[in-house]
Structure 1
Amino acid sequence: MSDYQQFLAERDKIDYFIEKGFRIKNVEENLEGAFLLLEKSAGADKQEETLHIKHADSRKYFSSLLIRQLQKEK
């Protein structure tokens, strides 16, 4: 898989969960990339998903989404 294709695949995964109503709850970064914890609360039911984001451009992408999320919460 090309570098750009990897970015597109990771971006699409992130977008899929955001469109389904998930929010970014936590980010853990290490030398292997970032682990993105997403959470969706629907009443008493709570769902969590973890994505392993390896590509640098994908990490920049979810960072911009996180900033927008935080601005909406203010």
Structure 2
Amino acid sequence: MSEHQQFLAERDKIDFLIQNGFRIQRVNEHLNGASVDFVHPEEKKTETLLIGTANARKYFSSLLIQQSQS
């Protein structure tokens, strides 16, 4: 899979969780990318995504900034 295709897949997973009411709770950066923990505030569900592409890391970072401002 090309890096762009991988980015699109990761972005779609992030968007799906955000659209379903999840919020970014924690980010753990490591050599393989970043593990991003999402939590649903009402249902108390937690999901973790491994984000490997630089563009997807920039994307969730911008969402995290927006989330912290609202």
Counterpart CA distance in 1 for 2:34 and 2:63 is 15
C-alpha RMSD of the superposition: 0.6
Task: Point out the structure with the larger strand share.
Answer: 1
Q: Displacement, 1:41? A: 1.8
Structure 2 counterpart of 1:66: 64
With normalisation by structure 1, the TM-score equals 0.92
With normalisation by structure 2, the TM-score equals 0.97
| Unmatched tracts of structure 1, length 5 or more | none
Q: Flag the structure with larger Rg.
A: 1
| Unmatched tracts of structure 2, length 5 or more | none
Runs of 4+ in 1 over 2 A off after TM superposition: none
Q: For residue 29 of structure 1, what is the amino acid of its counterpart?
A: E
Superposed, which structure 2 residues align to 1:18-37 within 5 Å? 18-37=18-37
The sequence identity of aligned pairs, in percent, is 57
